[in-house]
Structure 1
Amino acid sequence: MALHDDGYTFALADDVTRTPVRYTNRYGIEIAADLYTSKALDETATHAAVVIGPPHGGVKEQGPGVYANELAKAGFVAIAFDPSYNGESGGEPRHVTSPEIFAEDFSAGVDYAGGLPYVDRERIGVLGICGSGGFALSAAQVDPRIKAVVTSAMYDISGVKRNGWENKGTDEDRRTPLRAIAAQRWADVDAGHPALQTPFPKEFRPEGLSPTTAEFHEYYVTERGHHPRSIGAFTITSEAAHINFGELRWLTDIAPRPILLITGDRAHSRYFSEDVYAQAAEPKELVVIPGARHIDLYDDTALIPFDKIVAFYTDCLR
């Protein structure tokens, strides 16, 4: 899916309207989002809404818009947003990653949705793709206004930073990057600005890359998912916040609100969804899509189980 003339990686459905909107989160940061509604939406009635966050490092013109487009076709009011400090959203310095603020961005989306006259405040859910899956769950732990949570190809960014891949990290694995981050802070002080991680390359060259990195590059670097505001790099010193934040600790507090976890049987991230499913209280459901890799759940409408997602929200946001 090459970048379209409108700057999006997918085609907008003929029966859907997309409207750029702006609102602020509780830190005063302006959030850039797109509001998706069916052209047949009756604005004299109230409807359910879903707030949708992107993969970690992604933007609203990619996966979130794909999901919002489909949900709007099904009659939901859908909001796809850029996280603070990234995409078209505000916040300085650019490309910060913050587990607390990224979770807050979901609650800010709930604020905005609930302010629309045709949205029922008791019928608002969230949907997080990849890293936003963890942030959506984190938001729901403390924001009971969120009535239902869907994650797709979920990553727990803070959990993996603190505990290592598949929870196999050692104490030294955690302390080593903290020492490097501390040194980087002095370097940033001396330079007068924060350094960024290495961004995505300009060309897709999978040779020499790990399978996971090659898969991400297949999406973000090629015309399939490339977007100029999705650079694949955050400020280096942001990492400390994730290590300090730790894993999702209060998943049971989401109950009795329902959780739907979607992953692929070929997804390298599958264990994140399985861990959350094991830790969360009922009601919960884990759906494993045959043949789906991690990135396929970003945009492959033939594999993403939209019928299941629509049925879940229809039932839970009645």
Structure 2
Amino acid sequence: MKKITLLIIVSILFLGQPFAQTKKSSKMQQTEHYTFTLSDKVTRQKVRFKNRYGITLAGDLYLPKDSSGKTLAALAISGPFGAVKEQSSGLYANQMAERGFIVLAFDASYTGESSGEPRNVASPDINTEDYSAAIDFLGLQKNVDRNRIGIIGICGFGGMALNAAAIDKRIKAVATTSMYDMSRVISKGYNDIVTLEERTKTLEDLSRQRWKDVETGDAAYPAAHLPEKLTGNEPQFVVDYFNYYKTPRGFHARSVNSTTGWRLTSALSFMNMPLLTYIKEISPRPVLIIAGEKAHSRYFSEDAYKAAAEPKELLIIPNAVHVDLYDKVDIIPFDKLVDFFTKNLK
């Protein structure tokens, strides 16, 4: 990938260009919409629960219709970074519930239907805590075996899921798909190409942006998030993101990536807080890392696999790109996920 400054990389990661004031989408009025069809073998109910910081998280709880009177293994799922539970995480939950698990898909703090002000910000600490709050909730459900709970992280929430599994010993197994290490890519750029000078300049610009935000009483958003129309000059991975987030395939009005983009200063909290420092401490609990063969993000998964301790497994999906593992049910290896969690949640 052509070398570009960290500020532009940060802008791409937060899906826009730097430094314009808040933009609101008229599509934000949309409410009840899912990007997939609920299985006729599954029920879905809205739930609310609080994390350790007092933020109320919104989730959808998926249950197999034939689970009455049974105590089952459970999963918590979130991601991709900037998505909502009505998109990929809900699709995964629907599929895994159809296969016999109780599954909670949830919106991260400050996004979707979850609470938290200001809106559309992210934090490696708080978003890791969101997973533990989901485990709190699942462990209190009478039909959940609290000794049989695992988690799945998609895209940027793959890194958060690995971090959560390292610290929260109640998590018995963890899987990721199309994983991003958000702290690494935001601080070092794609393929770690960013120089110290570029990083310093980006931090100077973002630090000054804080004063601008305070002066105006509002936080800056990207000036031009994912384009409303492709020009043909975009990198392929941006085209792939567009084809998911900005088309009927994956658009959702509450999704950060479908609408305004992240607040620019969200990048700051990832700049010096490496997410995967303690990945080895997931062991002896198992890790499954899944990535597309042609995904621009593949190296994050491969490096996380190398850093993790046994038991661990890396599964590369032939010909798949990053966003294929968001919603393409004929490509996402659900049978493998079922085998992994069935074996390890017992």
Structure 2 partner of 1:41 = 67
Partner Cα distance (1:76, 1:99) in 2: 27
Name the counterpart of 2:288: 260
- The partner residue of 1:225 within 241, 246, 250 is 250
Distance apart, 1:199 and its partner CA: 5.8
> What letter corresponds to residue 195 of structure 1 in structure 2?
A
- Number of equivalenced pairs: 314
C-alpha change, 1:16 and 1:135, in structure 2 (3 Å) is same
Aligned-partner Cα distance in 2 for 1:129–1:14 = 24
Rounded Cα–Cα distance in structure 1 between residues aligned with 2:223 and 2:74:
36
Q: Choose from 193, 201, 209 the match for 2:218.
A: 193
2:172 is the counterpart of 1:147: yes
Give the counterpart of 2:187 among 134, 149, 162.
162
Aligned equivalents of 1:91 and 1:27: distance in 2? 10
Q: Higher RCO, 1 or 2 (CA under 8 Å, sep at least 6)?
A: 2
Pick one of 43, 47, 51 that aligns with 1:21.
47
Aligned equivalents of 2:147, 2:191: Cα separation in 1 = 36
The answer on whether the counterparts of 1:110 and 1:124 sit within 8 Å (CA) in structure 2 is: yes
| Residue of 328, 332, 340 corresponding to 1:300 | 328
Structure 1 CA distance, aligned partners of 2:231 and 2:159? 28
TM-score w.r.t. the length of structure 1 is: 0.96
SS of equivalent to 1:245: coil
Partner of 1:81: 106
* Contact map agreement 1:204 1:222 (CA 8 A) in 2: no
Match of 1:32 among 43, 58, 70: 58
Asked whether the 8 Å contact 2:163–2:275 carries over to 1, the reply is: no
Name the aligned partner's letter for residue 57 of structure 2. Answer: I
User: Normalising by the residue count of structure 2, what TM-score does the alignment of the two structures yield?
Assistant: 0.88
For 1:303 and 1:230, the matched residues in 2 are separated by 23
2:24 corresponding residue in structure 1: none
Give the match for residue 250 of structure 1.
278
Structure 1 outlier segments of 4+, above 4 Å: none
SS of the counterpart of 2:67? coil
| Residue of 125, 128, 134 corresponding to 1:109 | 134
Q: Once the 2 structures are TM-superposed, how far is the Cα of residue 247 of structure 1 from its aligned partner?
A: 4.3
Superposed CA offset, 1:159-198 (max 9, x none): 1112221223221232121101111001011101211224
TM-fit CA distance, 1:244? 1.7
Q: CA RMSD in A?
A: 1.5
Does the C-alpha gap of structure 1 residues 242 and 223 become closer, same or farther in structure 2, counting only changes over 3 Å?
same
Q: 2:201 aligns with which of 170, 176, 184?
A: 176
Q: What do residues 38-92 of structure 1 show as CA deviations (whole Å, max 9, x unaligned)? A: 11013x3321100000111000000001100011011100000000000010000
3-state SS, counterpart of residue 271 of structure 2: helix
Secondary structure of 2:272's counterpart equals helix
The CA distance in 2 between the partners of 1:48 and 1:172, in whole Å, is 49
Q: 1:234 aligns with which of 242, 250, 262?
A: 262
Contact 1:85 1:93 in 2 (8 A): yes
